[in-house]
Amino acid sequence: MNDPDFYQFSTLTVLLLLAAFYGGTYLLTLKIRKPQEDTDAYMVSNHRIGFGMGAASMTATWIWAASFYAAATSGYTYGVSGPLHYGLWGALMILFIYPFGRRFRKLAPNAHTLGELIHARHGSSSQLILALSNVMGSVISLMVNFTAAGALVAVLSPLSFQAGVIIAGVGVLGYTLWSGFRASVLTDFAQLVALMAIAVVIIPAVLFAMGGPGAMVAGLDNLTAEQSNLFSMTAILEQGAPFFVAVLAYAIGNQTISQRLFAVNESHIKPTFITATVGYGAIVIGLGMIGLMALTLGVEPMNGDMNNLIPQMVSSYLPPVFIGLFFILVIGSLSSTADSDLSALSAIIMADVYGKNIARGKADPKRMLLIGRLTMVVATMVGIVFASFSLDILVMLVFVGALWGAIVFPVIASCFWDRVTNAAFTTSVLVAMVLFCIARFELVPLAGGAGLFFEILASIGGGIIIALMVFGFCGRRLGAIAGVLAGLAMLVFATGFLRDYTVLLASLTAYGASTLVCTLMSLASPQRFDFDTIRQRVGNYDDHQPTDERPARGGAAPGFAEQY
């Protein structure tokens, strides 16, 4: 990694920067540490996070390593439309959980995970499927963030990739282990403030160091026709559409989002999610422009690894002070998401696995805390090991997002439709995941009848995505109309065409298959479910004032600091 064209800090300087960041973050969390931690506070801060902290935590959690590395990869690969595809659809992942999140909170105001709600609705098998998908997603997210840390340290210092991975893992674990979600939210706020301040300086600095807007415009002549096109079909089909498909999947399947949904004071859910949506989109589109800058200059990623692109650009064009700021910027962003993943994983194991399945509703709060902390330790070790493989970040994001697509319709339908059964939920998800894998890895030739079969399922999936999005904001009737029109349009235009884009085909197939199986099995059952029973089955684990005794709408809501 020692290329003379790149500025590198000394080993001592990098270690001091890391020690200052993680040491300072650890000292910050000491201010909220309690001699005896509260289980519900450890998982969701007693459902009392205020607007400012909630919005900051949501934004910081989603501005993670991939916001730098994958956004830059997108700009470098697809040209002028790449940053827009990554930032815009990523922002919508936050926005589109809002209408469904309000329903989740209404059904289970004291829940800690979405899995608890599904357990109360269906039972263990459906809950554990959801929990398993969340665990998979959070572990991959940890791996992505630790991978980014290793790439950053390896480019900007003599230290190895593995050293950077280990330092980031131990540093994040150190400040999150004791206070859990409370520590994650508090540090998110501080990290977001630093991230925004530094990003405002770094992005223009790179632009002017490479010659200013004029040099970038001149470099556009080096782009291909597709890369120069803001409405590039290649970018839309290979990135924009798969990310659009993943919007609802990430919103429903990611426990870091659900955890903040259940933690924010209910009267502040709407402004929290809208603010986080706007903040994320604006910052990430700007960060993705660094990849576009590299493309216009003809920069080749070091060692052919796209994960090195942003550190390479900053190291090549900025002076040491700015490089140091950038170093803290990326470490802060990846740490804010990694600690959220640790908190999410601990809540899943504490509530979904131990609380509902092992203890069967008779959980010991002290034992839950121990299990949560042990989960963080194990998850950190697993994330470090997986990060050592240095896999492509963008590929991993698309893969897990598509897998989550299998659970979207069953989860949402279970919370609005009283006919959905446990068997329908479980079977539909398993069938969808099998068909997704067949299409994604082309286990059968996608030609002739097989190709047509998957394209029909994908067309149903496309219609369902549009239907759910419109339903969330505009109601059932408009959602149904929009879904039917979108599905018919897909059948007309996708047949014989979509099979050439396996990532998009597989993602839509997951939606379509789960919807079809879940709907048919539910219609065949005479069962009806009383949604009022969910509130009775999902509660807090510690003895404190019930969180559904909230102030009246418009009244003063308890802020973050009141918990301590």
SS3 517: helix
Which tokens hold the place of 497? 């065409």
Q: What is the pLDDT of residues 68-81, one digit of tens each?
A: 777 888 899 999 89
Please answer whether residues 66 and 374 qualify as being in contact, where contact means their C-beta atoms are separated by less than 8 angstroms.
Answer: no
Q: Could you write out the DSSP letters of every residue in 401-456?
A: HHHHHHHHHHHHHHHH-TT--HHHHHHHHHHHHHHHHHHHTTSS--SHHHHHHHHH
For residues 387 and 140, what is the distance between their CA atoms, to the nearest angstrom?
9
pLDDT at position 424, please?
Answer: 97
Q: In this structure, what are the phi and psi dihedrals at residue 419, rounded to the nearest 5 degrees?
A: -95, -10
**pLDDT confidence tier of residue 554, bands split at 50, 70 and 90:** very low
**pLDDT confidence tier of residue 551, bands split at 50, 70 and 90:** very low
pLDDT at position 7, please?
Answer: 80
- The backbone region for 123, taken as left when phi is positive above 0, alpha when psi lies in -120 to 50, beta otherwise, is left
Residue 63 pLDDT more than 90? no
**pLDDT confidence tier of residue 550, bands split at 50, 70 and 90:** very low
Ranges 230-234, 303-307, 347-351, 422-426: which has the least confidence: 303-307
Please answer whether residues 117 and 252 qualify as being in contact, where contact means their C-beta atoms are separated by less than 8 angstroms.
Answer: no
Please compute the mean of the pLDDT values over residues 406-413 and round it to a whole number: 94
Higher per-residue confidence, 483 vs 547: 483
pLDDT at position 560, please?
Answer: 36
Q: What is the pLDDT of residues 367-398, one digit of tens each?
A: 999 999 999 999 999 999 988 776 665 566 65
Which tokens hold the place of 249? 């999947």
One-letter amino acid at 442 equals E
For residues 524 and 542, what is the distance between their CA atoms, to the nearest angstrom?
41
Q: Find, among 160, 191, 155, 142, the residue nearest to 29 by Cα.
A: 191
For residues 381 and 383, what is the distance between their CA atoms, to the nearest angstrom?
5
Ranges 164-173, 183-192, 237-246, 490-499: which has the least confidence: 237-246
Q: How many CB atoms lie within 10 A of CB 170?
A: 13
Q: What is the pLDDT of residues 118-132, one digit of tens each?
A: 999 999 999 999 988
pLDDT at position 305, please?
Answer: 76
H/E segment holding residue 51: helix 51-62
Residue 534 pLDDT more than 80? yes
Alpha-carbon 115 to chain mean position: 17
pLDDT at position 37, please?
Answer: 83
Number of residues in the chain: 564
SS3 159: coil
pLDDT at position 26, please?
Answer: 95
**pLDDT confidence tier of residue 86, bands split at 50, 70 and 90:** confident
Ranges 113-122, 177-186, 391-400: which has the least confidence: 391-400
For residues 235 and 78, what is the distance between their CA atoms, to the nearest angstrom?
6
Please answer whether residues 560 and 49 qualify as being in contact, where contact means their C-beta atoms are separated by less than 8 angstroms.
Answer: yes
Please answer whether residues 291 and 78 qualify as being in contact, where contact means their C-beta atoms are separated by less than 8 angstroms.
Answer: no
Q: Find, among 347, 364, 361, the residue nearest to 120 by Cα.
A: 361
For residues 481 and 305, what is the distance between their CA atoms, to the nearest angstrom?
45
Please answer whether residues 58 and 276 qualify as being in contact, where contact means their C-beta atoms are separated by less than 8 angstroms.
Answer: yes
Higher per-residue confidence, 504 vs 458: 458
Domains parsed from the chain with CATH numbers: 11-416 (1.20.1730.10), 417-533 (no CATH)
Most confident of 16-20, 37-41, 327-331: 16-20
For residues 115 and 104, what is the distance between their CA atoms, to the nearest angstrom?
11
SS3 306: helix
pLDDT at position 559, please?
Answer: 37
Mean pLDDT computed over every residue of the chain? 86
Please compute the mean of the pLDDT values over residues 457-467 and round it to a whole number: 95
**pLDDT confidence tier of residue 108, bands split at 50, 70 and 90:** very high
Paired strand residues for 49: 264
pLDDT at position 5, please?
Answer: 59
